[in-house]
Amino acid sequence: MDIKQSQIDSLIDDVAYLEHEAEALKYVIDSVPYDETPPGGRSISEILMFLDHAQQSYYRKVIEDAYKSVRPINLNAYIDPEETFETDEELSKDIQKLLYKLSKHRVALLNLIKNIQLIDWEREISKGRESITLYEFTSQMVRKERSTLKEIADLVLTYQKSRQVQRELESRNPES
């Protein structure tokens, strides 16, 4: 696969966008019950904690190792972040601190990605018998995180809409 500079520039923009998303959440997150866990799911703060954990303990390590290693690296040597994730109860209550941490780690990842030379994006990463490039691996990370941030945005919208409906009902029926 021939990777072009325009693809890398686009990938860098996508990673920067993810950092801006985390930054933007700071302004709306306090208006929703971010520590409420829906049935069979994770609360918004847990989802954000997991994103940060996966980025730090898995994606960043793989990207750094693939970039530094002369030989292809094998993903089977890395532990899936789902297996090592633990909720930090204290951090889940301080959502602004959590978003700051996520944003700071995202900037560090962005700087790492910006420093990778075009030729190095073609380095191979294997998982079992399959093989992908460092570029494809990083693109998959971006797609997963985008999907997760969309999930958070949807939850925020749902909470805001249900609160608005509640206010409208209360304004129509002031006796209750």
Q: Which residues of the chain have pLDDT under 70?
A: 1, 175-176
At residue 113, the pLDDT reads: 95
pLDDT of residue 175: 65
The pTM (predicted TM-score) of the whole model is 0.85
Per-residue model confidence (pLDDT) at position 58: 96
Tokens of 31: 């208006």
DSSP string computed for 28-49: TGGGS-TTPPPTTS--HHHHHH
Strands (E), the chain: 73-74, 124-127, 130-133
Domains of the chain: residue spans and CATH: 5-162 (1.20.120.450)
Q: Are 117 and 16 in contact (CB under 8 A)?
A: no
